């Protein structure tokens, strides 16, 4: 008996008891849909994180000087020296000073707005465009001017779009707005990329009462060689401080890959747990196949009397189990896509993340492969039972 004949026989039998077949498949359907949705969630989170990091800049190495375990210090000029020494790897650098404190427009307090002291190069590093007015200049750094550039969200929300020339109060000091950045996000929101104020780092350092600047952003020339560049940067810093504890270099790409790795571990564990339901589904198939072998004992006897070999009976039942599992797998994939879309709708509309649940092709291939394998594996025992039935007893079975 050929494979296609066994296949059509299996399909006939499955179609012959639709309800039972569907319930048998349910375990597989749920298992595969669960694996797909979980892997899809993982992919979605990874994409979301990658996008987030991209807005920060994957070509950036953040340097934090902690000054721990050393009496040596480094000035902004020293750091520019470091940049020049590593010109092979880095093309730009800007000190960054995060401001903690109040930002006020008139009497209104801007609780979520980030104010950061930066150098004139920062806009180039981040590739921020200036929509109106000017960017910060080198002269502003030198003069510790009280000028600032604001994000489009601030300009639109508090100045009606015409902010240049107006003033803003940072930690009580009055700053003149000299420029407004072009809109960065598709949908500017509170606390996001467009809700910012940039002032000269020298002014910021003085205002925060810091003697020296402790954070720097370096931009890597070749994004594929971030780790080499990072090592070179660390070597230069070691030469200054003579201690590895005195500084910290974080590359966004590395951070991203660490977080992605962690996420993958979590997702893999979840997928394996979901995969257990596939095994449960497989046991369900085995159970029904055993029932089916008992019910069809007489049929097996007749077929054997008419010349069916053990192998033909075996193949017939294994194929039936495998086909059941595969059809379940196909329904599972459909359900998986359905639940993924549903998940995307829920996440974007209710939780407010711009995240898409994207099942990967790999997980689908794996799911179908797994369901076929489960069918064959769990179909084997009942099929063997059927094949080994004694034809005389089977013929007499009522």
Partner 1 sequence: MTPLIEFRDLCKTYVMGDTIVRAADHISFSVNEGEFVAIVGKSGSGKSTCMNIIGCLDVPTSGEYLLDGRNVGAMSKNELSEIRNAKLGFIFQQYNLLPKLDLLDNVAVPLLYAGKGKRERRATAQKMLERVGLGDKLHNRPNQLSGGQQQRVSIARALSNSPSVILADEPTGALDSRTGREVLEMLQALHKEGNTVVLITHDNSIAATAQRIIRLEDGRVTFDGPASDPKAGVEKAGAMA
Summarize as ranges the residues that interact with partner 1 (CB under 8 A).
1, 5, 12-13, 16, 298-299, 301-312, 391-392, 395
The answer to whether residues 55 and 354 touch, using CB atoms and an 8 Å cutoff, is no
Shortest CB 373 distance to partner 1, Å: 28
Between 263 and 302, name the residue whose CB sits nearer to partner 1: 302
Shortest CB 278 distance to partner 1, Å: 30
Between 4 and 349, name the residue whose CB sits nearer to partner 1: 4
- The closest of 88, 184, 181 to 136, measured between CA atoms, is 181
Give me the residue label for tokens 């799911």: 367
Please provide the DSSP assignment of 291-310 as one string: HHHHHTHHHHHHHHHTT--H
Give me the residue label for tokens 């004694």: 390
Shortest CB 306 distance to partner 1, Å: 5
For 232-305, list the strands marked E by DSSP. Answer: 247-251
Spell out a b/e string for 376-389, using b for 16 or more CB atoms within 10 Å of the CB, else e: bbbbbbbbebbbeb
Shortest CB 387 distance to partner 1, Å: 10
Between 97 and 308, name the residue whose CB sits nearer to partner 1: 308
- Which helix (H) or strand (E) segment is 15 a member of? helix 3-16
Look up residue 114 and give its DSSP letter. E
Shortest CB 392 distance to partner 1, Å: 5
Shortest CB 7 distance to partner 1, Å: 13
Q: For residue 154, give Cα distances in angstroms to 146, 175, 190, 345.
A: 18, 14, 9, 30
Between 13 and 59, name the residue whose CB sits nearer to partner 1: 13
Between 377 and 395, name the residue whose CB sits nearer to partner 1: 395
Between 259 and 395, name the residue whose CB sits nearer to partner 1: 395
Q: Are strands 173-181 and 147-150 parallel, antiparallel or unpaired?
A: parallel
């Amino acid at each position: 008996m050929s494979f296609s004949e066994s296949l059509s026989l299996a399909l006939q039998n499955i179609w012959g008891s639709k309800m039972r077949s569907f319930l048998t498949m349910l375990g597989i359907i749920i298992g595969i849909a669960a694996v797909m949705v979980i892997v899809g969630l993982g992919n979605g989170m990874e994409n979301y994180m990658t996008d987030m990091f991209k807005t920060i800049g994957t070509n950036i190495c953040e340097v934090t000087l902690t000054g721990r375990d050393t009496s040596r210090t480094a000035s902004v000029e020293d750091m520019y020296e470091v940049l020049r020494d590593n010109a092979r790897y880095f093309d730009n650098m800007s000190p960054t000073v995060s401001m903690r404190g109040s930002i006020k427009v008139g009497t209104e307090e801007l609780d979520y707005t980030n104010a950061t002291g930066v150098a004139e190069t920062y806009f180039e590093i981040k590739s921020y465009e200036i929509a109106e007015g000017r960017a910060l200049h080198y002269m502003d750094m030198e003069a510790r001017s009280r000028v600032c550039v604001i994000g489009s969200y601030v300009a639109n929300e508090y100045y009606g779009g015409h902010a240049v020339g107006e003033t803003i109060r940072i930690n009580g000091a009055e700053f003149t707005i000299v420029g407004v950045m072009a809109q960065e996000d598709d949908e500017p929101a509170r606390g996001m990329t467009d809700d910012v104020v940039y002032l000269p780092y020298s002014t910021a350092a003085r205002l925060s009462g810091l003697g020296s600047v402790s954070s720097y952003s370096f931009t890597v020339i070749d994004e594929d060689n971030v780790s080499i560049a990072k090592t070179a940067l660390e070597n230069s810093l070691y030469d200054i401080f003579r201690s590895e504890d005195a500084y910290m270099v974080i590359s966004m790409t590395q951070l991203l890959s660490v977080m992605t790795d962690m996420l993958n571990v979590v997702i893999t564990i979840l997928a394996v747990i979901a995969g257990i339901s596939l095994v449960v589904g497989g046991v369900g198939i085995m159970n029904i196949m055993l029932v089916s072998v008992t019910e069809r004992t007489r049929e097996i006897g007749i077929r054997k009397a008419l010349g069916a070999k053990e192998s033909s009976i075996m193949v017939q039942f294994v194929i039936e189990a495998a086909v059941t599992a595969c059809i379940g797998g196909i329904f599972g994939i459909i359900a998986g896509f359905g639940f993924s879309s549903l998940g995307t709708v829920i996440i974007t509309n209710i939780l407010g993340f711009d995240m898409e649940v994207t099942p990967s092709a790999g997980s689908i291939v794996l799911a179908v492969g797994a369901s076929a394998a489960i069918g064959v594996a769990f179909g084997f025992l009942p099929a063997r039972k059927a094949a080994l039935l004694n034809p005389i007893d089977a013929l007499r079975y009522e």
